[in-house]
Structure 1
Amino acid sequence: MVAVEHLAARTPSVSVDELLKGFYPSPRFGEVSFDSYRPDPAQPSQAAAVKALQHFASSVGHPEARGLRKLFAAKKTDSRAGIYLDGGFGVGKTHLLASLWHAVPGPKAFGTFVEYTNLVGALSFRKTVDALKQYKLVCIDEFELDDPGDTVLMSRLMRELADAGVKLAATSNTLPGSLGEGRFAAVDFQREIQVLADQFEVIRIDGEDYRHRGLPTPPEPLPDEELEAAAEVEFATAGTIAVDDFEELLEHLAGVHPSRYRQLLAGIDGVVWHRVRTITEQSVALRFVVLADRLYDKDVPILASGVPFDQLFSAEMMAGGYLKKYFRAVSRLTALAREAQVQESPK
C-alpha cells in the first residue's frame, strides 16, 4: 500500500557530515564515464574535451612540484588549478564533469553552483573552506553569472581552495536560446573569477542542442477533484508519495534552508501538488527553483492541479535577470510531469 506524507510537515535536521555527503552526481549521472560519452564526429571539440579531462584527472591528487622538481616537471604536467567546460545547452557538459568526478579517487565533491552557495549559507564561509580544502577535487556544475554577490562569493571560495591545493572543475550555465549565436560564457567566467582566471584551462565544447529550444509544453494540469484518484493509479507501485497544498508548501520552504531540500525529499517516490499558482515573489521563486533541481536529481514524477508549469513564474520573472534559473526549473518540472502523466522518462 502506498504511504502518503506531506513535505510541508517535514523539517529535516542535517549535520555537517550529512550535508557534505550529499555532494555527488545525481542518479542520472551516477554511473557515467568518459567511455560512455559519445562524441559527435562532426564536432571534434567534443573528443578533444574528453582527452583534456582525462589528462586533468591524472593530475588530481599529485602534489605540486617544487624547487628543481618543478623546473623539470613543468614541461610534463599542467599545474593549473582548474578546468572549465564552456559550451551551449545540452552538449554533455554535466556528463563529462561527472565522468571526471568518477575517474578521480576521493575525497571529492560534486555539486551545482547553487548547492555550494547554499552550503556556505548553512555552514558559514570559513567552515565551508575548512571542510572542502581537505578534498582533492571540487566540481561545480552550472556556474551561474546572474547574481553578482554569489559570483564574488564563489570566486573567493575557489581561490582559497586553489591556494590549498584543491583541483577545481566547472561548467557553464548557458541559456538554450544563446546556442549557435557564439554567446558562450567563458569570457564572463574568466572576468568574474578575476585572479583565478589564468589558473583555469578553458575547454570549449561545440555541438547541437539535443533538447528543444524555448519552453517545453507541459501536460495539462489535472482537475483538482480528480488529482487524488489519478495519484492512486499513477503511483500505485510507489513506496511513499508526498501530497501537498501548493501554497502551504511554498510557506513551508521559507523555513527550511535550501541546503536541506535533498533531505526533505528523502524516500519520496512521487509528489502531488494541489492548486499550483503563478509565483510572483522573487525570493519564493528562487527557493522553488532549488526544490525543482532536487526533484529532477532524484527523478521524482509530479502530478498537479492549478496552472501549467509554463505559467509557474510570472512573465516579469521569465524576462528578468534570473531567466536561466526559471527556464531550467520549468523545463525540469515539465519533464517530471510528463513522466507521471504519459509515462515518459525525462531526458
Structure 2
Amino acid sequence: MAPQALSQAQRLADRSPSITGPEIVAELVPPPQFEHASFESYRPDLNFPSQLEAVERLNTFAGAWLPQRPGGFFSRTRKPKAELPGIYLDGGFGVGKTHLLAALWHAAPGPKYFGTFIEYTALVGALGYAATVKQLSGARLICIDEFELDDPGDTMLMTRLLGELVASGTRVAATSNTPPNSLGEGRFAAIDFLREIQAMSANFEIVRIDGLDYRRRDVEGHAIAVPRDELDQMVPALLERGSAVTRDDFGSLIRHLSTVHPSKYIKMIHGIDVIALTDVYLLTDQTDALRLVAFIDRVYDAEIPIIANGQPLNEVFDQEMLSGGYRKKYQRSQSRLVALTTGELPPHD
C-alpha cells in the first residue's frame, strides 16, 4: 500500500503556475490568519509602551474615514483635522506590525488593497505601470506589508506608484522589513525608507513599534525533523485520510523555486494541506536562502504544516547568513519554520 500511496503524493517541483493581473488583484487581501484582525484583538506587550501607542495612533489614522458628526465650530465632535496620508510602522519582526496593518485595512472603507511589496511589483509586471495605476486608482487605502529595500529599482518603482496614488487621494500604510544589517535593529529602516522615497517622505508619519518577537519561545525551540521511515509512513497515512500532500526532495524544491517568480509561490501551494520535504540540508547560497524565505512566508500565511527529515528546517541558514545583512529575515523565517513543523496536522473535513 505504501508505494502506491506515495505515488499519489504531488510534487511542488511539478507546479509552475502562471498568474494574471486580475488574479493578483483578487489576492490583495490580508492572509487568512488576519481575516478577523482588529485593534481590539491586538495584545500589546505592556513592557513596551510603543505597542499600545501604535494602536492608539492607528485608531486616530482610521478616524479620518469616520463621517463628520453635526456640531459647531468648537464642537468636540468635529472631525479631526486632515492628517498625513501615509503611515509607516517601523519595528522588528514579531511585534505585531502585520496584525495592526490588517486591523487598519479592516477598519477602512473600500475599495482597498492589502499585499506584500512583492505582490504589488508583480502586479506592475503583469499589467504594466499605467494599467496598475488605473487599477489601484480610487482606492481609499493601500496597505503594503514588508516594504522591501533590497532592490532599489523596485523600491523606486513602488514609490513612484505610491506618489501618483497619494496625489489622487489614496491613503497608504506600510511596514518595514529591516533591510541590510538592519541598521540599528530596524530603527534606521525608516530613515532608509524615507531616503528612498525622497519627495514622498513628507507624506508619511513614522510609528515606531518596539518589543520582542511574540514567537520568541519558538525561536528558542527547534523545528521537528522526523526519521525518513516515519515520514514515509506519515505521507500515505495523510493521503489515506484524503489530505492533499506534496512530497519533494529539498534540493529539488530549492532548484525549482529559482524558476518561479515569488509572486507565484502562493499558487504553487494552492489546495495543499500538508508539505513533506526529504533530505533537508544546510543552505550556503544566499539567493537560494532568500527564495526559501519568500516561499515559507506564503506557506505560513496559508497555514500549511510541514513534515521534514534531515536538517531541522530552522537550521538551514548558515552562520554567515545569520550574521549578515538579511539576518532579520532569516530569524523571522526560523520562527515560522518552527511553528510550521511543530503544530498539529489539521484533520481532514
Specify the TM-score bucket, using the shorter chain as the normaliser: 0.7 to 0.9
- Provide structure 2 residue ranges, at least 5 long, that are not aligned to the other structure: 68-78
- Give the one of 136, 151, 154 matched to 1:132: 136
Moved over 6 A (4+): 177-182
SS at match of 1:105: coil
Residue 333 of structure 2 aligns with an amino acid whose one-letter code is A
Q: Of 296, 302, 306, which residue of structure 2 is paired with 1:298?
A: 302
TM-score (norm 2): 0.82
| CA drift at 1:61 | 9.8
Q: Which residue is equivalent to 1:100?
A: 104
Partner SS for 1:4: coil
Does 2:19 align with 1:7? no
Distance 1:145 1:139 in 2: 16
Q: Deviation of residue 181 (structure 1)?
A: 6.9
Residue 8 of structure 1 aligns with an amino acid whose one-letter code is A
Counterpart for residue 245 of structure 1:
249
Name whichever of 27-36 and 116-125 sits farther off.
116-125
Matched, 1:23 2:28: yes
Residue pairs, 1:159-238, within 5 angstroms: 159-174=163-178, 183=187, 185-212=189-216, 215-233=219-237, 237=241
Q: Would you say the 8 A contact 2:216–2:335 is kept in 1?
A: no
Of 55, 59, 63 in structure 2, the residue corresponding to residue 54 of structure 1 is 59
The two structures have a TM-score, normalised by structure 1, of 0.82
Task: Provide the rounded CA distance (Å) in 1 between the counterparts of 2:224 and 2:185.
Answer: 33
Taking the TM superposition and a 5 Å limit, the aligned residue runs for 1:59-74 are 59-60=64-65
Asked whether the 8 Å contact 2:145–2:174 carries over to 1, the reply is yes
User: Per the alignment, do residues 142 and 238 of structure 1 end up closer, same or farther by CA in structure 2, a change over 3 Å counting?
Assistant: farther
The residue aligned with 1:310 is: 314
1:336 to partner: Cα distance: 0.3
Report the aligned-residue RMSD. 3.2
How many residues were matched structurally?
330
1:278 aligns with 2:285: no
CA apart distance, 1:206: 3.5
1:141 to 141, 145, 148: 145
Q: Would you say the 8 A contact 2:87–2:206 is kept in 1?
A: yes
Taking only the aligned residue pairs, the percentage that are identical comes to 50
Tell whether 2:115 aligns with 1:116.
no
Relative distance call for 1:56 and 1:238 in structure 2 (3 A) is: farther
Return 299-308 or 317-326, whichever deviates more. Answer: 317-326
Given the superposition, is the C-alpha separation of residues 306 and 326 from structure 1 closer, same or farther in structure 2, using an over 3 Å criterion? same
* Residues 199 and 252 of structure 1, relative CA distance in 2, 3 Å threshold: same
Counterpart secondary structure, 2:9: strand
Note the C-alpha offset of 1:174. Answer: 4.1
Give unmatched runs, 5+ long, in structure 1. Answer: 63-74
The verdict on how the C-alpha distance between 1:258 and 1:180 changes in structure 2, with shifts beyond 3 A counting, is closer
